[in-house]
């Protein structure tokens, strides 16, 4: 709540000059949620004729969740003009934020009386008692000074010091300076005679920002505790003398060296307008370099841990962006204005974890058969998230095989396999290119097969107004980016399933009567891998 007089209440007798103002803001946001679930004998989870119901009987659960956010801002501002040409405004402050999440709950099974509903859960067998909590605190000291001279030159300098509980004491604080300069060319005497130019400004800025987007207390190790003997989860539990004992297992190793992610950003721009601002153009060049990226990195299995938060690698982004605004028609009853923008953006991986040559990434939770395939690769010196896989080399034809007396086919020795067992490959099966020429297709034959990053993107909008009617027509585009069409993997026969319909193209799959097809024979997709067969032009 704003309180401009709070300073005088806290410090009676102390007067601030009229150019200073003291402001205190405070706020609290709190959310309480309660989730109740009850499965009586008429539900699938409580019916004794179902597997779950026969095991757990009438059952239910109650979970409580409290989320609280606290914010306090203390700001002192200064604003003054000197000799009508100099103007200074500044701000200094201290801000504090704290967020907390607390939860608890339980599951009750084998409830004897379903008439009481959720009120009768205490009569059942209580299991899976859970408690959870997370806390994070962010404290910031900040300051900014703006200086303007004669409405022509503007200088800005700012500095932030942020402390986060997500990092250890040694790395808790991050320091982020920035500075900017703007030159209002439109107020210069040499440009005023040029009547076609309405306004012009040059801009230049450089600054460093920080990122602490990791889990609370991320520098500490994470332990996973068994919550009950009847859950089927025995990862940390064990039996001793015939009794089940709850256990605790470490799942994420701590990292005391974890620190703030930092991004340095350079921007140079021009704003110019013509013909009494009927036409205006904005042009920007930027360069961003992010170091110490905060990533939840996979750990070698030999360590005994799954993942750990680390500061890994360096990524840079650079680009040119242009925006053109025009007022095409402006009358009393009808106006038409347009906006056109185009951006050329490039990113580059400058460094991975130390001297790591590459980093492969999988796509999960869409098809379990492909969990062991890694369709994305990160390489130093290359753009991020390049597609990685095999090169489609057509289909195996009859001439690739020796016909056997029993009517079957045997792949000729000089013909490479497709990453699968040679004995299982038949005519019409998919073929991949043997890039290294060793006569055998395997992981060493994978290569970059696509780039999801566009050459340029943009948009074009038009706004029309006639009397009290408005119409907006907006077009946007992306050019030069590739996409992975996973639909073709599933719906063109890679999945040997009877419960899904195929694309119509599946009708023209390879057969002895249709040997010119590039769609593999039924069951002929080979191993579950990604290839450039399913990489398509994503331009629109």
CA 82 vs CA 95, 153, 448, 479: distances in Å? 30, 15, 62, 52
Task: Give residue-wise pLDDT tens across range 132-163.
Answer: 888 899 999 999 999 999 889 999 999 999 99
pLDDT for res 157: 98
pLDDT for res 100: 94
CA–CA distance, 470 with 407 (Å, rounded to integer): 72
Q: Is the pLDDT of residue 424 over 50?
A: yes
CA 206 vs CA 63, 81, 90, 161, 348: distances in Å? 48, 26, 19, 17, 20
Q: Is the pLDDT of residue 281 over 60?
A: yes
Torsion (CA) 236, 237, 240, 243 in degrees, nearest 10: 170
Q: Is the pLDDT of residue 267 over 50?
A: yes
- H/E stretch holding 353 reads none
Residues above pLDDT 90, as percent of the chain? 71
pLDDT for res 427: 96
pLDDT for res 235: 55
In this predicted structure, which of 6-20, 137-151, 390-404 has the lowest mean pLDDT?
Answer: 6-20
Residue 458 binned pLDDT confidence (cut-offs 50, 70, 90): very high
Mean pLDDT of 81-108: 94
Task: Give residue-wise pLDDT tens across range 211-253.
Answer: 999 888 889 887 776 544 444 444 566 677 877 677 777 777 8
In this predicted structure, which of 13-22, 224-233, 468-477 has the lowest mean pLDDT?
Answer: 224-233
What does the buried/exposed string (b/e) look like for 158-172 if buried means 16 or more CB atoms within 10 Å of the residue's CB? bbbebbbbbbbeebb
Task: Give residue-wise pLDDT tens across range 318-375.
Answer: 999 999 999 999 999 999 999 999 999 999 999 988 778 888 888 877 877 888 889 9
Strand 86-109 and strand 238-240: pairing? unpaired
Higher pLDDT, 84 or 393: 393
CA–CA distance, 482 with 487 (Å, rounded to integer): 15
Closest CA to 476 of 452, 460, 496: 460
Average pLDDT, the chain: 90
Q: What is the pTM of this model?
A: 0.81
The vertex-408 CA angle with 407 and 412, nearest 5°, equals 125
pLDDT for res 165: 94
Residue 106 binned pLDDT confidence (cut-offs 50, 70, 90): very high
Torsion sign, CA atoms 36, 41, 43, 49: positive
In this predicted structure, which of 125-134, 316-325, 375-384 has the lowest mean pLDDT?
Answer: 125-134
Distance of CA 45 to the CA centre of its chain: 36
Q: Is the pLDDT of residue 8 over 60?
A: no
Mean pLDDT of 61-70: 96
């Amino acid at each position: 709540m704003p309180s401009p007089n709070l300073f005088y209440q806290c410090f009676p007798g102390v007067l601030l000059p009229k150019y200073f103002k003291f402001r205190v803001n405070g706020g609290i946001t709190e959310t309480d949620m309660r989730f109740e679930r009850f499965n009586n004998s008429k539900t699938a989870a409580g019916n004794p004729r179902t597997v779950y119901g026969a095991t757990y009987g009438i059952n239910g659960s109650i979970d409580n969740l409290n989320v609280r956010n606290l914010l306090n801002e203390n700001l002192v501002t200064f604003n003054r003009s000197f000799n009508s040409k100099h103007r200074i405004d500044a701000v200094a402050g201290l801000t504090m934020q704290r967020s907390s999440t607390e939860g608890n709950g339980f599951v009750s099974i084998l409830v004897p009386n379903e008439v009481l509903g959720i009120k009768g859960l205490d009569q059942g067998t209580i299991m899976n008692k859970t408690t959870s909590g997370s806390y994070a605190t962010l404290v910031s000291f900040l300051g900014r000074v703006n200086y303007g001279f004669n409405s022509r030159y503007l200088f800005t300098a700012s500095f932030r010091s942020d402390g986060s509980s997500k990092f250890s004491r040694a790395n808790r604080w991050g320091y982020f300076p920035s500075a900017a300069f703007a030159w209002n060319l439109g107020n210069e005497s040499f440009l005023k005679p040029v009547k076609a130019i309405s306004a012009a400004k040059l801009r230049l800025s450089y600054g460093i920002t920080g990122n602490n987007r990791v889990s609370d207390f991320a520098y500490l190790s994470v332990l996973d505790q068994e919550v009950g003997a009847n859950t089927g989860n025995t990862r940390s539990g064990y039996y001793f003398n015939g009794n089940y004992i709850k256990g605790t297992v470490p799942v994420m190793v701590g990292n005391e060296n974890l620190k703030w992610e930092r991004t340095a950003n350079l921007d140079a721009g021009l704003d110019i307008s013509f013909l009494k601002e009927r036409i205006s153009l904005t042009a920007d060049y930027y360069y961003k370099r992010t170091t110490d990226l905060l990533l939840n990195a996979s750990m070698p299995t030999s360590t005994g841990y799954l993942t750990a938060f680390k500061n890994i690698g360096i990524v840079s982004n650079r680009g040119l962006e242009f925006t053109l605004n025009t007022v095409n028609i402006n009358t009393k009853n009808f106006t038409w204005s347009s906006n056109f923008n185009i951006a050329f953006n490039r990113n580059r991986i400058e460094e991975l974890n130390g001297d790591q040559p590459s980093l492969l990434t999988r796509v999960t939770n869409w098809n379990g058969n492909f969990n062991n395939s890694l369709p994305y690769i990160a390489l130093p010196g290359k753009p991020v998230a390049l597609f990685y896989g095999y090169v489609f080399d057509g289909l195996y034809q009859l001439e690739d095989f020796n016909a056997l007396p029993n009517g079957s086919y045997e792949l000729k020795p000089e013909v490479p396999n497709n990453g699968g067992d040679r004995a299982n490959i038949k005519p019409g099966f998919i073929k991949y290119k043997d890039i290294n020429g060793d006569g055998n297709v395997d992981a060493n034959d994978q290569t970059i097969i696509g780039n999801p990053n566009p050459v340029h993107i943009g948009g074009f909008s038009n706004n029309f107004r006639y009397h009290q009617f408005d119409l907006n027509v907006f077009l946007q585009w992306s050019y030069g980016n590739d996409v992975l069409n996973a639909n073709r993997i599933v719906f063109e026969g890679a999945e040997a399933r009877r419960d899904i319909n195929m694309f119509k193209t599946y009708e023209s799959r390879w057969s002895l009567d249709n040997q010119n097809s590039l769609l593999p024979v039924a069951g002929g997709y080979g191993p579950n891998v990604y290839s450039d067969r399913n990489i398509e032009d994503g331009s629109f």
